[in-house]
Amino acid sequence: MLAFALGFAAGIMLLISLMEMLPAALHTQGMSPMLGYGMFMLGLLGYFALDRMLPHQHPQDLQQKPLTPYNLKRTAMLLTLGISLHNFPEGIATFVTASADLELGMGVALAVAIHNIPEGLAVAGPVYAATGSKTKALLWSGISGMAEILGGVLAFLLLGPMISPVVMASIMAAVAGIMVALSVDELMPLAKEIDPHNNPSYGVLCGMAVMGFSLTLLQSGGIG
């Protein structure tokens, strides 16, 4: 179940990054393809820089210890960071949209809230497996969601008129790169290591299907 949950989380993050965030960033008025893809690559490189600073201890390197709480905690931390970084610009986007059009902002907030449900599950699963605590799983999934509120508050207090569509698009492109790197480099390989007899792609495909279906419902209803 843990391996499937990790694949599920990777599927969610890949779909959001490549089908929602990056295209939206590249199609923003005033955003050049060079800047958009450059920020995407910056996000990738930023993730790998963070990854190199964290000590590694993969299951195949351990004798008769196929899985350790340390590995799970490290993965849960990176996953929470990735989801939080994804949620942060969503908070900014909701604030900016609601400032311009309250009705539209409410629609954006509803869309964000609905697709945060599987994201919360994606964070809570690995945290619960690492700690055995439902309280900690709830806490960390809540923290990842609070990043959206923080994004909105900071947009209100600090950025104000500095928030332009190009700035928003640049942030989204960079976060998309972080999430892709996290999915491919961390979640999918660890899922295979945890359960080598099953294909983690099943979880990936299910995560993509669930998130894609939810986004389709939102867009068909005029919300997304």
CB 6 within 8 A of CB 191: yes
With left for phi above 0 and alpha for psi between -120 and 50, is residue 68 left, alpha or beta? beta
Query: What integer pLDDT is reported at residue 64 of this predicted model?
Result: 40
Looking at per-residue pLDDT, the higher value among 198 and 65 belongs to: 198
> Per-residue pLDDT averaged across 207-219, rounded?
77
Residue 47 has pLDDT above 50, yes or no: yes
C-alpha span between 140 and 131 (Å, rounded): 11
Average pLDDT of the chain, as a whole number: 76
Mean pLDDT of 94-100: 68
Residue 39 has pLDDT above 90, yes or no: yes
Task: Tell which wins on pLDDT, 127 or 224.
Answer: 127
The 10 Å CB-count burial string (b at 16+, else e) for 95-123 is: bbbbeeeeeebebbbebbeebbebbbbbb
Average pLDDT rounded to a whole number, residues 187-208? 81
Of the given ranges (43-57, 179-193, 204-218), which has the lowest mean pLDDT?
A: 43-57
Please, which pLDDT band fits residue 193 given cuts at 50, 70 and 90? confident
Q: What percent of the chain has pLDDT over 70?
A: 76
| Mean pLDDT computed over 167-182 | 82
31 phi-psi bin (left φ>0, alpha ψ -120 to 50, beta other): beta
Using CA atoms, how far apart are residues 207 and 164, in angstroms rounded to an integer?
Answer: 32
**pTM of this structure:** 0.64
Q: Please check the confidence at residue 168 and state whether its pLDDT lies above 80.
A: no
In the predicted structure, residue 60 carries a pLDDT above the cut 60: no
Instruction: Report the residue count for the chain.
Output: 224
